[in-house]
Homo-oligomer: A and B are copies of this chain.
């Protein structure tokens, strides 16, 4: 078994655990609001890579945080991510009928239920983190919530998406693309990487290392996404190839060309690994994750 394969096993193992946690945390389908619950479960329990939960768990293990607590935070992050995908797919936004190879929520249910399922998944994320089962210390819970709210909001994910949809031609400059992606993808990556450090009340140096790691890895992840969109196979990415390019959406590939974009991703990956040196041998699985992120084909 090579390194890519054993890492993929570990990622799948985490994904399974997070799916079990989400299954327990999202109420079962019942009552007159059953359709909404069904839409929430459809979106959150689908077959995602669970890359953000993976970083919550693996970065949290650096600080010996117990897995039960980490899985709750990981589930909350995935609720936020799932809600953003539901809303991004809406006809008024990216208008995607497919997500992870299945009908997106507004196609499988309705636009109205897609809006509400996203809304309710966001609320659920904060409900999960605020519960004492997540961490016995209320100060830690309040800080996790504060960071998650900022990462999700106008200065984070939602703001990044607003910049993304505001640009429909190819004029976006590299610094603005990087800023947009830092907000849209990077903020939630950073929250995921730092959540364990918050729970452990770790040193400023640990936060600096994790923040740098998340920043570089998040951009590398996004560039790889752009490359896959431009060149990948639909069967592996589960969405229409070249769709973002056709829509003239801002991307690293458009701004830099595919060769330079790939070079940039490799440079960022090397930088991300250097940030991990702070944690020594305990971070070996995170080092493998860097290779996985930039070498993946789907």
Contact = CB atoms under 8 A, between A and B. Distances in A.
Given A127-B149, A159-B120, A37 B154 contact: yes
Contact of A36 (B127, B130, B158): B158
A165 B112 contact: yes
Contact of A145 (B32, B87, B142, B160): B142
A82 to B, nearest CB: 13
Interface residues of A, number: 60
A152 B126 CA distance: 10
A20 B32 CA distance: 39
Nearest to A131: B146
Interface string A152-166: 111110111111011
A138 interface: yes
Nearest to A137: B138
B152 A123 contact: yes
Interface stretch (A51-59, A60-68, A175-183): A175-183
Interface of A: 27, 32-33, 35-37, 40, 83-84, 87, 90, 92-93, 106, 110-116, 118-120, 122-124, 126-127, 130-132, 137-139, 141-143, 145-146, 148-150, 152-156, 158-163, 165-166, 176, 179-180, 183
